[in-house]
Amino acid sequence: MSRRHRFMVVDDELIVRESLSAWLEQEGSVVHKAESAEDALKLMEQSFYDILFVDIKMPGMGGFGLLEKVKELFPTTLVVIITAYGTVDHAVQALRLGANDFLIKPFDPEGLGLLVAKLLEHRRLVEETEYLRAEVNRCKGGLDEIIGTSPAMSELFETVSEVAGSESSILILGETGTGKELIARAIHALSKRMGGPFVPINCGAIPESLIESEIFGYEKGSFTGAIRPKRGLIEVAETGTLFLDEVGEITPKMQVDLLRVIQDRKFYRVGSVEPIKADFRLISATHQDLNKMIANGSFRQDFFYRINVITLRVPPLRERKEDIALLAKHFVKRFAMETNRSVDSIDEGAVKILQDYTWPGNVRELENVIERAVVTARKRMITAESFAYLAPEEICIPVKGFSRSLQSAESDHIAHVLADTGWNITRAAKILEVDRTTLHKKIRKYGIQQQNSKDGAGGSR
Ligand SMILES: Nc1ncnc2c1ncn2[C@@H]1O[C@H](COP(=O)(O)OP(=O)(O)OP(=O)(O)O)[C@@H](O)[C@H]1O
């Protein structure tokens, strides 16, 4: 176990508190003691506990009362009920009320060790399942989920298989929508950490004021609104992979903080002085030119070296036109199934338009274009007509002017404002009268790309 586990023994009998604590401490864990349910709740408000060992018979609120409160207020804390030999019916009642297990006095140290190990493993599995569920069916992991037979992608798949097994930090470079996150997930799924969680953090989408507490977690009272302690994403990523998406968006302060975590392999929750061991593999990704950002002072070189032990480049879609037909067919099938339409194919003329288009938003844009085509299709086969708006104007029916969609006008306007402000997100967001998070979402949605600027200023903030 990489983090020191935190336990609490709640018993009004001094001898039980002392003996149980002594055994638990032998394993190198932090153990706190409380004489009553009321005291235990006070301690729980201050800090997080992995397991509570609770005696049933105590004056005041008692063990059952405490069990109910803990399940309601601190559902991630496990509760073990302490019960005397011969009162097993109490234990059964406690299990019905949500206790995770029970311990019969007098204790057997070996059984106690096994119980603790079993409960911690159970909690890890529950957390992992929650994560996997939240990821819906996005990617089952591995390279099988990633479509591509072009030489560029085949080479990338080979490199991914080679580096996945190492513990080195990986930086994935590529334009927006090229599939960087998919590659990161595949690396995780092929790594020794596949049994642990994959925790993505979109560094550009979390408001600056929240990022520290989201990543490091916090103790109760460490700031206004911190009414109970919370585990940060680094802690959630324990034994797994932490994926820093849009790493170019990380604030200079956060770069320093994360650099320290990577170097020292430990971190502190906000408001805590107790170090927690950092046990994750780091994968980062960006569409930005970090070398340029280092040159203009917005990205730290030392942080760059730490996150960039291995570099992978995901090629833009226009450089692997061979993959377009395959991807298009894959998306037709997927969206037809998801939207329950009877569309099942795409003709050559349609594929030709898709292959001739430059795809500034890469695979994500292709995905969106196909989704729209599937939803609006009137026949089983998608034809060139569906993609007329992508073809060069001299070849196709003009679709600009009044026949243009609101989304396309919005996307163009955002692109202009970004170009005018030299991709200064804060300024662009101000002009557009939206917050930075909304702007980032729209940039991703429309696949808006930063064109090579003359002055090389790639300011991101
Ligand atoms: N080779 C591929 N095969 C199948 N689906 C793909 C492929 N590449 C990308 N996608 C799909 O395209 C979308 C964008 O991919 P992803 O989020 O991995 O891109 P990204 O490079 O991380 O984007 P961003 O830079 O905006 O974060 C996702 O829905 C993903 O499933």
Predicted confidence at residue 254, as pLDDT, reads: 92
In a domain, 71, yes or no: yes
Q: List the domain range (segments joined by +) for residue 378.
A: 317-387
Domain end call among 265, 280, 313 = 313
Q: Whose CA is nearest to atom 13 of ligand 1?
A: 364
Rounded to 5 degrees, φ, ψ at 219 are: -95, 160
In a domain, 452, yes or no: no
Helix axes 362-376, 436-446, angle to 10 degrees: 70
> How far is Cα 455 from Cα 458, in angstroms, rounded to an integer?
9
CATH of the domain at 370: 1.10.8.60
Across the 461 residues of the chain, what is the mean pLDDT of every consecutive 10-residue run? Answer: 79 92 87 95 85 93 92 86 82 89 86 90 76 52 83 94 94 96 94 92 85 88 78 92 95 93 93 91 96 94 96 96 95 87 87 94 95 86 88 48 65 85 84 86 84 42 32
* 288 and 368, same domain (yes or no): no
* 57 and 80, same domain (yes or no): yes
In a domain, 36, yes or no: yes
* 200 and 87, same domain (yes or no): no
Predicted confidence at residue 454, as pLDDT, reads: 38
**Among the atoms of ligand 1, which is closest to the Cα of residue 182?**
18
> How far is Cα 271 from Cα 219, in angstroms, rounded to an integer?
6
Q: Whose CA is nearest to atom 10 of ligand 1?
A: 179
In a domain, 294, yes or no: yes
Number of domains within the chain = 4
Question: For the stretch 287-296, what's the b/e string if a residue is b when 16 or more beta carbons lie within 10 angstroms of its beta carbon?
Answer: bbbbebbeee
> How far is Cα 274 from Cα 418, in angstroms, rounded to an integer?
43
Cβ neighbors of 250 (< 8 A, separation 6 or more) are 203, 211, 244, 258
Q: Whose CA is nearest to atom 30 of ligand 1?
A: 179
**Among the atoms of ligand 1, which is closest to the Cα of residue 176?**
25
* 209 and 288, same domain (yes or no): yes
Predicted confidence at residue 288, as pLDDT, reads: 94
CATH of the domain at 60: 3.40.50.2300
* 158 and 300, same domain (yes or no): yes
* 155 and 302, same domain (yes or no): yes
Question: For the stretch 389-408, what's the b/e string if a residue is b when 16 or more beta carbons lie within 10 angstroms of its beta carbon?
Answer: bbbeeeeeeeeeeeeeeeee
Query: 314 C-alpha vs ligand 1 centroid, how far in Å?
Result: 10
Predicted confidence at residue 261, as pLDDT, reads: 95
Query: 298 C-alpha vs ligand 1 centroid, how far in Å?
Result: 26
Cβ neighbors of 330 (< 8 A, separation 6 or more) are 147
In a domain, 453, yes or no: no
Predicted confidence at residue 135, as pLDDT, reads: 56
* 287 and 335, same domain (yes or no): no
Residue 256 host element (H or E):
helix 252-264
> How far is Cα 421 from Cα 431, in angstroms, rounded to an integer?
9
Burial class (CB in 10 A: 0-12, 13-18, 19+), 203: buried
* 155 and 303, same domain (yes or no): yes
Query: 246 C-alpha vs ligand 1 centroid, how far in Å?
Result: 13
Query: 178 C-alpha vs ligand 1 centroid, how far in Å?
Result: 5
How far apart, in Å, are the Cα atoms of 312 and each of 12, 42, 159, 174, 241? Answer: 58, 49, 8, 9, 17
In a domain, 397, yes or no: no
Contact assessment for residue 78 and residue 118, using Cβ atoms and an 8 Å cutoff = no
CATH of the domain at 260: 3.40.50.300
- Indicate the SS3 state at residue 12: coil
Order of strands, sheet of 170-173, starting from the edge strand that comes earlier in the sequence:
198-202, 241-245, 281-286, 170-173, 310-313
* 276 and 418, same domain (yes or no): no
Which protein residues are within 6 Å of ligand 1, measured from CB? 146-148, 174, 176-182, 245, 285, 287, 327, 363-364, 367, 444
Query: 136 C-alpha vs ligand 1 centroid, how far in Å?
Result: 15
